[in-house]
Structure formats: structure tokens, C-alpha cells
Amino acid sequence: MSRKNKLTGKTFEYIEVTDVGAEGKAIAKIDEQIIFIPFGAPGDIVDVYITKHRTKFLEGRITKIRKESQLRVEPFCEHFTICGGCKWQHLDYKQQLKYKQKQVTDNLQRIGKVGYDYKINPIIASEKTQFYRNKLEFTFSHQRWLYDEEIKQDEKVKNPEGLGFHMPGYFDKVIDINKCWLQPEPSNEIRLAVKKLAIQNGYSFFDIKNKEGFMRNVIIRNNLAGEFMVILVVFSDDQEKIKTILDHLDANYSQVKSLYYIVNSKKNDSLDNLEPVLYKGDPYLSETIDGLKFNIGPKSFYQTNSRQAETLYKIAGTFAGLSGKETVYDLYTGTGTIANFLAGKAKTVVGIEYVDEAVEHAKENSRMNGIKNAAFLSGDMLKVFNEEIFSKHGNPDVIVTDPPRAGMHPKVLEQIKKTNAARIVYVSCNPATQARDIELLSDMYKLKEATPVDMFPHTQHVENVVLLERV
């Protein structure tokens, strides 16, 4: 029998957890082989069951904690370890920040190959570590995830429906959420009220496998002023059912200023090509950053931690070093938040974004704030960010980029180099792909400064802003 088969399914006792690594999992070693373990803390002494054997590492789960690490704290959420959303609740927040800073530094050194001739600032902590999100999306399921105790019962589960988050690793399983600590109240109250009302009226919850059932999703957005937007996603345009749900929310929650619904009769959950219908209230929620007002619609992209968003944009502005004479290009501009934020300090700002609707929102945000020196273009970055645009709007002096988690396409990086821009400000929610792109730019641009920002407490995710200067 191979060593691989000998290790899989085995339990090893008294293993010391030494570090935190990929995807927020804890790191230990068995016979000099690295093992990744969820929900461990450096300093733990644990028994580990081996679940998978990869070529270069093992994966396992803790079956018993022999000695708890001093870094551990008591998790506050009843769904911890099941939901998968806040994997670091068991770690003291200061330690979370330490490991996020380490993640950024390690990626820059190992993947970015940047050396040590740059400044990395201490990570900026989130003022709020609970109830900090401004958007959550919940999924209805006709058959929720069942816990071990329920499965062991012979009798049929009385309330099989669920409304919550997808079980990690299962597209067709939804965890019924009682209380989520990510979004302020009345988020939980609204979600539970919608679920209760749907059950009372016999509205069917969506069957993810067979693609049938009326109730599909509910999306809840909020702003710092305490106002809420609710978007109900249903399978068919049954106005009586839609009216029952949304009228109940309108009558009982004064904080809800905007009510939408979306009819999604497709097999997938994507809402990209579907039109939200304003049922009642305001079409937007508004947020203010540094004196600028931004309207947020049902499908708008906006940083999910509003308080930290302002911090993030101010860092980007500082790194851009604008004097009022520069032409700035904001790549992957979304609804133009960074572009409009920088417009008052630049000669011209040009934002480029793939999603047409986001570009229209960016233009509206400019008009609303009286910004006249910002232009926004929609289209594929490879096709739009080229010499034709430069001839019309000018060559960039500064490039700001905030791409998706996958980072930038190599051809976009080549086009950036052709512009000969003096500075690049790169905002990223994935320091690994950011570091990869920095390395690909390194023949023309040198990393000068980096500032990590914690947008997502109790998770392994970290935002990072870097300044690159032309060599």
C-alpha cells in the first residue's frame, strides 16, 4: 500500500499548529510534511484526521484539541465552522491583523519578488469587527442543510425549508441562518420575517437541483445612515405573492426605504441580465465619502465595508500624489467611486468598466456631485484601453486599477507599460494575484509603498493598496 493511502483516513495525535497559511487554514507538520487544518490556531496541540493527500501537502480536520492556544478566543456566532463565512472568529483580532499583514508581505516577497527596498505600512484595522457589511445575499432552499443530530432522528424534519448561505463546497445545500453578525439590524429581522411569511402562506422555496419553486433569494443592502434596501428575487411574476411579502416589509420596517423585486426564471442565479423592478420607495440608497455623495442601486458594486471604503480611497488618493495637472485612468472603475473621489485633485479622470449599468451609475454620480472632468467608458479592458482612447482623452500620468480577484490580463499589463505612466496605484482584494502582476510589471515599475487594509474582519481576506513608480 502506498504512503498516500496509508496517511489518508489516519488520525495523528498531539500535533502542534505552528502557523496560518493558504485560505486562512492553520499549518502543522507530520513527518516534515505540511498539513492544512481549518479552524486551528498557532499554539494549539491537536489530534488531526487526514482527509486528503495532495502531492505536496496534506489536508485534515481537528478531532480533538489537547491544548488550546493562547491566541484563541470564544467564537460569537452559533453558525461558526458550519457557515464558512467568518473562519477566524476563534482568533484574537490583533492576531488576525498580524497574519493578514504577513500574508501581504509573504505574497509580495515570494510571488512579487520585490526585495526589501520598499515601505510597507502597518495594516489598518477595521473600526467595527461585527455588523460591518452593507450588503448580504441569502438563498432560499426547499431542503436546508441538516445537522448530525437531525439526521440521526428517525422522524421527518418538521421545517425542512431554509434561508441563508450556501454550504461551502455544496452548490445545492443551504445553511439556515438564525443570526448573522455581518450586517446591522434589522437585517436579521427582515430575513426571518420574509422566511416566516413565505412559510405561513405556503410559498414554495427554490429547489436548486430541479430548478423549481417560487422564493429564490433576498438581497439586503444598507448605508451608514441606517437606511435599508431589500431586493426580493422570485422565480415567476406572481404579483399577489410579491405584494404580500413586500407590503409586509413596507408596513413593519421604517428603516426600509427601497423595495425591489427581480423575476429570475433561469436555471442559474446570475442577475446580470435581469432588470430590477422598483416596487416602492427610493430607487437608490446614498452614501457619503469625503463630502461626495454616491447613489447605490440594487445591482451597484460598492465596497461592502463602507467605513473602510473611505480609508481605502484616501490611501489611493495619497499614493496617486495628484497636483491638479494629471490625467488619471481608473481601470475597472465599477460605479466610478475612486474616479470621482480623485477628480477634484486631477486635471482629467477617465474610468473604464466592463458593465454598462455600472458606467451609467458612475456618470450619474459625477453629475450629482457636479464633477465635470470625469469621463466613463464601457467595454472589455483589452479593447477599450488603447491608443484610440489615449488620443481622445490624453495619455495617463497616473493609473489607478482595482481589478477583480483574478487580477489583470497580461495584455492589459503590457498596455499599461506602453503608456509610460509615472505612477500606478494598484488596489486589490487578492494580494497573491496583485503580487503576480507587480512581478510582470517589474521591468518598468518598482514597488515603493504598500498599505494593507482590513475590510473583512474574522476572515482571511485582506485588501492591499500599493504604489508603483516608473524606473
Taking only the tens place, the pLDDT of each residue in 302-351 is: 899 999 999 999 999 999 999 999 999 999 999 899 999 999 999 999 99
**Could you check whether 3-67 and 135-285 share the same CATH topology?**
yes
**Exposed / middle / buried, residue 129 (Cβ in 10 Å: 0-12, 13-18, 19+):** middle
Residue count of the chain: 471
Cell triple for residue 402?
482595482
Domain 96-128+291-470, classified CATH 3.40.50.150, yes or no: yes
Residue holding cell 499548529?
17
The pLDDT of residue 258 is: 98
What is the reported pLDDT for 93?
97
**Per-domain residue ranges of the chain:** 3-67, 96-128+291-470, 135-285
Record: fold of 3-67: OB fold (Dihydrolipoamide Acetyltransferase, E2P) (2.40.50)
- Kindly report, residue by residue over 258-314, the tens digit of the pLDDT: 999 999 999 888 998 899 999 999 999 999 998 999 999 998 888 999 999 999 999
Residue 261 to residue 298: CA distance in whole angstroms = 9
Rounded Cα gap, residues 155 and 158, in angstroms: 9
CA–CA dist 214, 303 (Å, integer): 30
Q: What is the CATH number of domain 135-285?
A: 2.40.50.1070
User: What's the pLDDT score for residue 357?
Assistant: 85
Q: In what order do the strands lie in the sheet with 327-331?
A: 119-120, 445-453, 463-470, 423-428, 398-401, 327-331, 348-353, 374-378
- Given a cut of 70, the residues of the chain with pLDDT beneath it are 1-5, 152-157
- pLDDT score recorded for residue 191: 98
Instruction: From residue 302, give the alpha-carbon distance in Å to each of 206, 218, 335.
Output: 28, 18, 7
Q: Give residue 168's pLDDT.
A: 86
429 classed as catalytic? yes
pLDDT value for 273? 87
Q: b/e for 358-387, b at 16 or more Cβ within 10 A?
A: bbbbbbbbbeebebeebbbbbeebeebbee
Among the listed residues 77, 86, 180, 429, the single catalytic one is: 429
Element (H, E) at 327: strand 327-331
In this predicted structure, what is the pLDDT of residue 7? Answer: 84
What per-residue confidence (pLDDT) applies to 152? Answer: 67
